Amino acid sequence: MKCRVCGKQANIRLPQYNTALCSEDFTLFFEKRVATTIRKYRLIGEEEKTLVAVSGGKDSLSLWRLLNGLGISADGIYIDLGIHEYSRVSFEKTKAMAESLRRTLYSFSLPDAFTKGIKDLSGIMRRPPCSLCGMIKRYVMNRACIEHGYSVLATGHNLDDEASALLGNLLHWKEEYLWKKGVSLDAEGAHLARKVKPLFLCSEKETAAYAVMTGIDYVYEECPYSVGAKTLLYKGLLNRAEEESPTTKLVFMKGYLKRVRQGGLTKDEREPKSLCGACGYPSYAELCSFCRLMERFGTTDTLSFSIHTHSPS
Ligand code: Q46
Ligand code: ZN
């Protein structure tokens, strides 16, 4: 198998593009694809302060380094979920990337804020770990953006993440979530930063190959709570379909983006309209879910909400 560009030995086959590439040409191809996605969907404007949600995994670390390589000055935020060795290693790799990029890293620790990790919190709150984790991450990352002056939050969601989530929502007809799966979500007022997904059109296989080929030191283990998650089932189904028809995921998600652009999917009316009485961020009720969690654990003073700043040495 020869590289379609230079004719050398190819290192990756990309049947969805009917091509095969060597490491160097694949790296250029991947970076160009992300740059094109950013430009085409106007994800990040020139001079916009950008914060990257970093977990220590291949997608977020690749995204962080790639954005800075494209000339977009992006800092990072990491959430320590208190999952022992997994969290420790993830944080180490994230800090190492921050140092090598010489960018600021913010961090928020569940054990510090609540004296418990995600597993214990989930048991006490009788809420699945991923649901609670999603709520905490959304809140903390958005608040970090607003309080530190970032207008954009970039996440490492890739094509497989987005296609499997959309498929899950469609299979259960969760219409209220359909409009949210786009490549970007607009800012709202002074309390919600814009969210963007520059890897939206890059498959998991591509991001993993990019991370390996460019020598990114990422945590290989997945979060233990991802095992058994429904999204893995949907990812498996889509991979099976992709084997038979290699453009399945791209066609699915590009068709979705077209519908969003044409206004075929509209925002859910039940989105929060009021502001939390304690922290002042968007909320469905008098107190937002995050402040209720704070209250439940005896830390009603929301000033105890703390994001640590690690500046490059
Ligand atoms: S939601 Fe669930 Fe992930 Fe949070 S608890 Fe782990 S698997 S990290 S993206
Ligand atoms: Zn609140």
Q: What is the pLDDT of residues 63-73, one digit of tens each?
A: 999 999 999 99
310 Rama sector, left if φ>0, alpha if ψ -120 to 50, beta otherwise: beta
The pair phi, psi for residue 55, each rounded to 5°, is: -110, -10
Does 7 reside within a domain? no
305 vs 150, residue with greater confidence: 150
> Which residue segment(s) compose the domain that 143 sits in?
35-308
Contacts of 302 (CB under 8 A, 6+ apart): 278, 279, 291, 294
Go through 67-96 and write b for each residue having 16 or more CB atoms within 10 A of its CB, e for each that does not: bbeeebebbbbbbbbbbeebbebbbebbbe
> Which of the four pLDDT bands, split at 50, 70 and 90, describes residue 268?
low
H/E stretch holding 175 reads: helix 175-178
Does 19 reside within a domain? no
Does 24 reside within a domain? no
- Which residue, chain included where needed, has tokens 């208190």? 82
Does 297 reside within a domain? yes
From 19-23, 33-37, 46-50, 242-246, the region with the lowest mean pLDDT? 46-50
Q: Kindly give the distance from the C-alpha atom of residue 128 to the centroid of ligand 2, in angstroms, as a whole number.
A: 21
Number of domains composing the chain: 1
pLDDT over 90, % of the chain: 74
Give the pLDDT of residue 272. 63
Regarding the beta carbon of 132 and ligand 1, being less than 6 Å apart is answered: no
Does 160 reside within a domain? yes
Give the pLDDT of residue 298. 62
Two tokens at 175?
């219409």
Contacts of 277 (CB under 8 A, 6+ apart): 283, 286, 287
Give the pLDDT of residue 90. 98
Does 49 reside within a domain? yes
From 33-42, 48-57, 264-273, the region with the lowest mean pLDDT? 264-273
Give the pLDDT of residue 182. 86
Q: What CATH code is carried by the domain that includes residue 231?
A: 3.40.50.620
> Which of the four pLDDT bands, split at 50, 70 and 90, describes residue 179?
confident
Does 151 reside within a domain? yes
What is the mean predicted confidence (pLDDT) over 243-261? 94
Does 8 reside within a domain? no
CA distances in angstroms from 205 to 15, 149, 159, 202, listed in the order given: 12, 34, 10, 8
Q: Which ligand is nearest to the CA of 300?
A: 2
Check residue 223 and report its DSSP letter.
P
Q: Kindly give the distance from the C-alpha atom of residue 298 to the centroid of ligand 2, in angstroms, as a whole number.
A: 14
Q: Kindly give the distance from the C-alpha atom of residue 130 to the centroid of ligand 1, in angstroms, as a whole number.
A: 5
Regarding the beta carbon of 226 and ligand 1, being less than 6 Å apart is answered: yes
pLDDT at residue 192 above 70?
yes
Go through 7-34 and write b for each residue having 16 or more CB atoms within 10 A of its CB, e for each that does not: eeebbbebebeebbbbbebbbebbbebb
Q: What is the mean pLDDT of the chain?
A: 91
Give the pLDDT of residue 269. 60
Which of 133, 164, 235 has most ligand 1 atoms within 8 Å of CB, for mutation? 133
